[in-house]
Amino acid sequence: MSPKYTLGPDIDLDTEVLRDKKARRITERRAQQLAEEALGKAGVGRPSLTAPGTRSPEVKARVPEELRERLTEAARKRGTNTSTLIREALEKYLAS
């Protein structure tokens, strides 16, 4: 299978004419703006559970398939996701 995109040599967008899907010319300035927008969106992810601007630690555990299925079903019934359900269960367990 061939890659969808391949890298070629750099070009000067102020001298070469390159257009986007809507036939708008892409200049060096516009390419810079598009890159900044893309990078700004790339940093957006799930909010930190620890503090703003910090990454929340991740805890992993292996479980039997049947337990994972029960967890998934319980989360679905509660209208939440498995991560939230696990956090709540762990909090309750450690508080007791």
| pLDDT of res. 22 | 94
Query: Does residue 4 belong to any structural domain of this protein?
Result: no
Query: Does residue 1 belong to any structural domain of this protein?
Result: no
**Residues in CB range of 12: below 8 A, 6 or more apart:** 28
Q: Which domain holds residue 22?
A: 11-45
Residue in the block written with tokens 């909010």: 47
CA–CA–CA angle 53, 58, 63 (5° rounding): 160
Same domain, 94 and 67: yes
Query: Does residue 93 belong to any structural domain of this protein?
Result: yes
Query: Does residue 50 belong to any structural domain of this protein?
Result: no
Task: Please state the domain count of the chain.
Answer: 2
pLDDT (tens digit per residue) in 37-74: 888 777 667 788 888 878 888 899 999 999 999 999 99
Q: What is the pTM of this model?
A: 0.52
